[in-house]
Structure 1
């Protein structure tokens, strides 16, 4: 049996390690040995000798286990096996995809990365991208639905991040490399089914009056902002960041020239909207135009005031503060006053766009007011069914049937 012996150099300062064995393990055969600088190497080599039947390992074995220097001169060794190719995970490919986006808006990249980290990577991040199946993606979608995410949120996650990543993986590389995948597992995969909650909106002048009365009773400053939001359909980030320079008092309009966004848990003012549709001029009613003009005049007397609508300390409103300290109180008071709705701030935008649609505003103007790239988004997401048509329907059907038919049950002769 092979053994390891400690050897000391003549000066006694260093130690070396010699592996000894008899060829074939037979006593009549001569001794063979090899010497190593490190004990670990000597033990590894001894194991090879023993596994080879107490013989010198083959050149292939020596090369494979890191002992190529022991191969006799002139004896070719089989090439060492190539290292296994690194597995390309979904996470790694997604990071590469993010880095190759052409001129992305910083907020877009932040949003995509946040969605991936929160909703995609925990389940798919470490999976080889080439092995992900349609079944996995269906189960991933359903898990998001089971976790309470709405169908619209899931559609946004998959449509803006997951689907583009798989599409990119199905295309050849920039230098002609073969595609990572041959098929997109999202193709033909429907969104998970589930009930869609209809957003509450203000449907009548009486409901709008109840809401605004509650707002001005809680805080006139906050109420002015909500009045502007309701009358223009602006998003929170747009109305809360309106600067005085964006207001045209003569024309009675407000332009969207900057927005407020939450970046890394902080609200910051971005000097331009995210898309070209975000740049738009929105008309104001006479009463709202006067209110906004008065606020602009007040801002002109205060050099430090940068916004039309300001929080108590003079800076812009933070959504969290406004929601907790103002909106919740206004919403609850409006319900006590008889408003049969559980409104959200974004519901004010839905209310305005629904009103304009039911009053016959043409689709192009409606899309412009909303700041959408497609009128389909405006109509499918923001325009709701209301009861405003009930009375006209009653009148038309009543005239068609005849008053006597409605009261006596007999047709008019």
Structure 2
């Protein structure tokens, strides 16, 4: 082990270093950084409560004791799986920086997760949602809501990716949008004419009313002229979908992916479209399509 620094090897010192590592070296999103730090803080608090002091006391037994305490406190599978993921990144970091002689996180087994099938709109509902968004009003708010819904469904981007779009990320000639995804990875996705038309209406009749010198190149703005926030974008979607089938931005993303597969797109193309690092993340949408096919079969086939 490398020479220790009594200040930097305290829990607070290590957490501060770990936060920088997550942001700068791993490129994790602010949301992920906050979640990992909160999870690791519970681990360090558990160590303190059991009489151990500092991250150097971490071993497999301590990790299992922490997880056991969480389970007894009522933590579900998803919570345990998320905290195991955070712990593995943390112990790997401690080992890499010489604070641990070995990495106990690689031996940590987590609960098998039951992945719930995502709720999606059918094609008719999606069309109704897009038609209802904005309700043909010409106010900046209505124009933004319509554009937000159309772009989310038309591109399948994450809501944070939508909020990060700049004016020059939209290429009308090619019918594409340049997106900065998780881990700082850039991808280009196709976008349909209805979404482009909704964006143009927002740019012509909505954005100029709210734009200020501080707006910069942000495509979507809040009412005060700043870049549209994720929470406000979610509210736009919920307000727009309420009359048809209330869903959020991720529901529109799920719907876009499922409708692509239903229309004949191959899984690899949908993976690129969504910006998934692993094909396994995309495969859940095949289950959604098969589930729908099974319902249709049971209703329509004489031998079902």
Q: Which has the larger radius of gyration?
A: 1
Change (3 A) 1:235 1:158: same
Q: Which residue of 1 aligns with 2:239?
A: 329
Unpaired runs of 5+ residues, structure 1, are: 1-84, 174-178, 258-272, 407-413
Question: Take 1:389 and 1:321, find their aligned partners in 2: how far apart are those partners?
Answer: 35
1:331–1:343 contact (8 Å) kept in structure 2: yes
Partner secondary structure for residue 201 of structure 1: coil
1:132–1:185 contact (8 Å) kept in structure 2: no
Question: Which digits, 9 at most, give the CA deviation of each residue in 1:332-369, with x for residues without a partner?
Answer: 433xxxx3xx5222111111112223333223321211
1:363 corresponds, among 254, 267, 270, to 267
C-alpha displacement of 1:166 = 2.2
Q: Which residue of 1 aligns with 2:63?
A: 137
Q: Which residue of 2 aligns with 1:249?
A: 172
TM-score normalised per structure 2 = 0.71
Question: Which digits, 9 at most, give the CA deviation of each residue in 1:134-189, with x for residues without a partner?
Answer: 45434534655677876456434432x4213323555694xxxxx83456155142
TM-score normalised per structure 1 = 0.55
- Residue 200 of structure 1 pairs with residue 119 of structure 2: yes
Question: Which digits, 9 at most, give the CA deviation of each residue in 1:282-317, with x for residues without a partner?
Answer: 112222233334445568978856343333444432
Change (3 A) 1:138 1:91: farther
Q: Which residue of 2 aligns with 1:292?
A: 199
Question: Take 1:315 and 1:95, find their aligned partners in 2: how far apart are those partners?
Answer: 29
Calculate the aligned-residue CA RMSD, in Å.
Answer: 4.1
Change (3 A) 1:139 1:361: farther
Unpaired runs of 5+ residues, structure 2, are: none
Change (3 A) 1:243 1:296: farther
1:114 corresponds, among 19, 34, 38, to 34
Q: Which residue of 1 aligns with 2:189?
A: 282
C-alpha displacement of 1:102 = 10
Question: Which digits, 9 at most, give the CA deviation of each residue in 1:100-150, with x for residues without a partner?
Answer: 679526x63855653354222234244344544545434534655677876
Question: Take 2:259 and 2:87, find their aligned partners in 1: how far apart are those partners?
Answer: 35
1:170–1:183 contact (8 Å) kept in structure 2: yes
Partner secondary structure for residue 177 of structure 2: strand
Question: Take 2:116 and 2:73, find their aligned partners in 1: how far apart are those partners?
Answer: 16
* Structure (1/2) with the larger strand percentage: 1
Question: Take 2:200 and 2:297, find their aligned partners in 1: how far apart are those partners?
Answer: 41
2:146 corresponds, among 223, 226, 234, to 223
1:104 corresponds, among 17, 20, 25, to 25
Q: Which residue of 2 aligns with 1:163?
A: 88
Greater relative contact order (CA < 8 Å, ≥ 6 in sequence): 2
2:280 corresponds, among 354, 360, 376, to 376
Q: Which residue of 2 aligns with 1:385?
A: 288
Question: Take 2:130 and 2:76, find their aligned partners in 1: how far apart are those partners?
Answer: 29
Question: Take 2:155 and 2:203, find their aligned partners in 1: how far apart are those partners?
Answer: 17
- Residue 320 of structure 1 pairs with residue 241 of structure 2: no
Q: Which residue of 1 aligns with 2:222?
A: 311
Change (3 A) 1:350 1:183: same
Q: Which residue of 2 aligns with 1:209?
A: 127
Change (3 A) 1:346 1:134: same
2:150–2:194 contact (8 Å) kept in structure 1: no
C-alpha displacement of 1:230 = 0.9
Partner secondary structure for residue 200 of structure 1: coil
Aligned residues: 283
Change (3 A) 1:139 1:281: same
